[in-house]
Amino acid sequence: MEQEKLSPELYELFSTYLKQSVTEDSLLPSFFTFNNIYSIWLKASYGDYRIQFVISPPPNSYLDYYIPYGEYGAHTRSSFHGRIMATGERISLENYQGEWGHNIYPDDPDRTIRDREAMVIHNQQVTAILKAKGFVV
């Protein structure tokens, strides 16, 4: 695959957003292949973690990223899947539910079961989306 380079403006936009809470000087490679999954380990004040990202080609470039659950510091224990648009807009994409547990309704056990079953179905759909993007195997 041919290596590409982002415009300086997009490189700065994507890189700035990803660097906000880490100590790395640069997160994005200077040259990369569009639609290729990249995985890097980052150092942050709360511990190391892994981020995966993919950049779509111009003219409507965006950066999709995924931070897997349980692979990083003690203070952040949930995964996150998001998008940074070329306009700078940040979008939360499909994310897992219940990584901190699920609601229990002592007075309504049927609701507890329904909510948990809905969460399981939702999480299966999120996994399918992340697999299709190449973020999970």
Residue 31 lies in a domain: yes
d(CA 42, CA 49): 5
Residue 56 lies in a domain: yes
Strand-pair partners of 66: 52, 81
Domain that holds residue 35: 8-97
Domain tally for the chain?
1
Tens of pLDDT, residue by residue over 25-82, are 556 777 778 889 988 877 666 667 778 899 998 888 899 999 887 654 544 557 889 9
Residue 24 lies in a domain: yes
Residue 131 lies in a domain: no
What pTM did the predictor assign? 0.79
The strands making up 62-67's β-sheet, listed across from edge to edge, are 38-44, 47-55, 62-67, 80-85, 90-92
Residue 127 lies in a domain: no
